[in-house]
Structure 1
């Protein structure tokens, strides 16, 4: 016997409850709009009635129904990057935005058609094919407390690191030879410590490489351990790079 959608789904989304799940309701809307697309379940089993995914590994959209208010919350992805997001109370509008994105629309075209869609300058930089400098600028300009600005500036001042794609994780600075997730993990990362010093580690195993007293010393240690022939970050995921060891680190 089919499972019944949970009570909040029935209350806030009667059309979803009638269809049996958001997946089924979204499929009906896509079919009605004339899009040859398939709505699938997401990877979260607990969201079987309130979430759906449309697309493939190149482009996809995830949609989740809110539990307290009627909102279809959406994320628009392209090759490992969340390019845009938005929310709407209109299921048909959600399906329309999905259909337009999956047929290859650009960001401004998508927003012009569906005003609830939002995106930032980094997404547009990805669309242009040059996100590295924009990502560095965002890190240099942010006032987020987990960003060590002295470290960011020291890394940016080094040309061999400035050509790589920076990202942060748990207050650590990492650098990638590609601009899309999953990132390469064969370049040492730098973690600021509470005493004002820095720990340099290989990210994949978090194995210790060295300790530095200043940001410049930490950056110099990373430069000395860059992979052979390290070049500017490319518009790819680590899995798309030609190097089969791109997600590994030196032994």
Structure 2
């Protein structure tokens, strides 16, 4: 079972008991928080990021996870350079295909209107995530240093690109159109 809320996989669990599944579904649909869900259904599990989403601190927690990871595929100099920039630190960071991305919302689908940084052969390629040309993502530029790549992203932020909000890109589009 998967328990989703506002574009975020909050918890999951496996059971062969129809009664346990019904209890978990009922609890989740009636608005139980993560702790109450796990208390009622011990087969359900969740992590610190789900707890952060529930508390409203998902952006800060996701940055902390990236800054503390020892995973070899995460480029720490790039993470630190992006984190040092207040405009980017206010956005929800996520990684996809070795690129560091930033979203104006905390749930999936994410926004894709902020440039992306991809480390390539010791350099940092900055592109638009969305297709801005018929041939794929459009290049913005290349930098030798992560700080310069971050500066390119900041120079191309969409107007009024404020802190990430709870919800999905679809939610944001609906609120922007109102």
| Common fold: TM-score over 0.5 | yes
Aligned length: 170
Query: Scaled by the length of structure 2, what TM-score is found?
Result: 0.91
Which blocks of at least 5 consecutive residues in structure 2 are unaligned? 132-136
Which blocks of at least 5 consecutive residues in structure 1 are unaligned? 1-73, 245-251
Choose which of 15, 27, 51 in structure 2 pairs with 1:100.
27
Structure ID, larger Rg? 1
Could you say which residue in structure 2 is the equivalent of 1:141? 68
In the TM superposition, what are the counterparts of 1:228-239 in structure 2 within 5 Å? Answer: 228-239=159-170
Could you say which residue in structure 2 is the equivalent of 1:181? 108
1:145: Cα distance to partner? 2.7
Could you say which residue in structure 2 is the equivalent of 1:163? 90
Confirm or deny: 8 A CA contact 2:127 2:138 kept in the other structure: yes
What is the DSSP-based 3-state SS (H/G/I as helix, E as strand, rest coil) of the residue aligned with 1:167?
strand
Q: Which has the higher contact order (CA 8 A, sep 6+)?
A: 2
Could you say which residue in structure 1 is the equivalent of 2:79? 152
What is the CA–CA distance in structure 2 between the aligned matches of 1:230 and 1:79, rounded to whole Å?
A: 20
Query: Scaled by the length of structure 1, what TM-score is found?
Result: 0.66
Confirm or deny: 8 A CA contact 2:4 2:10 kept in the other structure: yes
1:155: Cα distance to partner? 0.2
Could you say which residue in structure 1 is the equivalent of 2:127? 201
What is the DSSP-based 3-state SS (H/G/I as helix, E as strand, rest coil) of the residue aligned with 1:140?
helix
What is the CA–CA distance in structure 2 between the aligned matches of 1:229 and 1:100, rounded to whole Å?
A: 38
